[in-house]
Amino acid sequence: MAIEVAKVELKTVQDASGLEACVRAGQFTADEVIAVIGKTEGNGGVNDFTRILADHAFRRALTKLGSRGEEAVAQIPMVWSGGCDGVITPHATVFARNGKTGSANKPRLAIGTAMSAEVKPEDIGRPAMVEIVADAVKAAMKDAGIDDPDDVHYVQTKTPLLTIDSVLDAESRGQHTACEVHDSMGVSNGTTALGIAVALGEIQMPRAEEICRNLDLYSTVASCSSGVELTQAQIVLLGNKAGAGGRYRIGHAVMRDALDIEGIYNAIRHAGLELPDRPRAEDLKGRVVNCFMKCEADRRGTLRGRRQIMLDDSDVHHHRHSKAAVGGVAAAAIGDPAVFVSVDAMHQGPQGGGPVIAIVDAGE
């Protein structure tokens, strides 16, 4: 079964009309949708309920338009990242599996999904969570039919973070959490990224004291988000597989810093598009479906030798600075502000940079 991909705009927080339009146009059926990765317009923080509102809207649409019941639709992985700072447009990338065919032997996009074992509050930020995530990533590879980790180009996750209630739950069982509630988003993301890196052989199993501290350990394909809406690690793994069919390919590269536009074009090249030495958005000829990237303010407080004030700003959180900046670079690179840019990039790419993933239409 081939993978079909569509990027749809969210006109409001609870808008699923773009998804419905794809179904009604026959691009895929509601029952063929297997995953959604989207950006919502909330604050991107612990209390960003726009993620939940968008999630409910898309699940309602799939239930209404398809034959799967609410329980089955509830199992579809949907990863929502909050915060559309700067020029970023709220949108969703919808993945469906259908009978459309393409090249019988060329590598084409394949997707696997998995849900991990329960991640307890006291696991976040500790080796137990690394191991839980690594096991789930391996399960998602198997689901995608991908054997070689080098064929994996994107692992998007959603994992739990801490709330006051979950901290109290851990303490009631004689356990203690590794961090405070407001630090848990970054810690959950970073621990998850290490689990991805371990599963794909990018690093060895880290020591407890290296988690969220040794930033030289990272994955080049991880994009990790977290929220209050789940207690497991939700894995969506994408790679290329010979004979997968369809017309889409995926590739990845690394942005070395927030201005590394060449890293974005390298990901597009890696996905299979030929580009000139100094490309521009018009060179893409509309064949880039979407780009997905992680970013974070450089903890050293510099960018290409120049002083930065993101980490010193008490009015605007550094996440919003970095997301807006990288979103602008990415939008300029591909000529489209509907780009997936997510922050809290600890252990996801090098310090001050992050992974960048591109999905392209191979034109067949």
Catalytic residues: 158, 225
Distance CA 361, CA 128 (A): 39
Backbone angles phi, psi at 310, to 5 degrees: -50, -45
Tokens of 192: 């998850």
Beta strands (DSSP E) in the chain are 2-9, 33-40, 78-82, 91-98, 107-118, 152-160, 222-227, 232-242, 248-255, 288-294, 302-303, 306-307, 340-342, 354-361
| The two structure tokens encoding residue 206 | 């880290």
**Sign of CA pseudo-dihedral 329, 330, 332, 337:** negative
Nearest CA among 48, 110, 116, 50 for reference residue 77:
116
Give the largest Cα separation in the chain, rounded.
60
Tokens linked to 265: 């074009």
Cross-strand pairs, 358: 251, 291
